[in-house]
Amino acid sequence: MPYSSTSDLPDNVTNVLPHHAQEIFVEAFNSAYDQYDKPEERRGDDSREDVARKVAWAAVKKSYKKGEDDKWHPKK
């Protein structure tokens, strides 16, 4: 289900991502959730939410990287 704001994100996202990365996650997740609404538009047996989650993390990884502290930091 799409997120209306970063405050709706699960703890496993909010506890590791800075606010800006959370905004990227929400925007990418919601966009992918809308785009991949039909099963034939997805690869394999992934659910709509699984696909949206993968897209959201990929979007975050474009601008952030995971540090040794298991938190995400902006790429330089």
Give the DSSP H/E element, type plus range, for residue 65.
strand 64-66
Go through the domains of the chain in sequence order and give each one's CATH number: 11-67 (1.10.1740.70)
Instruction: Name residues whose C-beta falls within 8 Å of residue 39's C-beta, 6 or more positions apart in sequence.
Output: none
The distance of Cα 27 from the centroid of its chain, to the nearest Å, equals 8
Of residues 26 and 76, the one with the higher pLDDT is 26
Tell me the per-residue pLDDT of 35-55, one tens digit each, with 9 for 90 and over.
Answer: 999 988 888 889 999 999 999
pLDDT of 50 reads 95
User: What is this structure's pTM?
Assistant: 0.91
Task: Please name the residue that has the structure tokens 């690869």.
Answer: 43
pLDDT of 49 reads 95
pLDDT of 44 reads 87
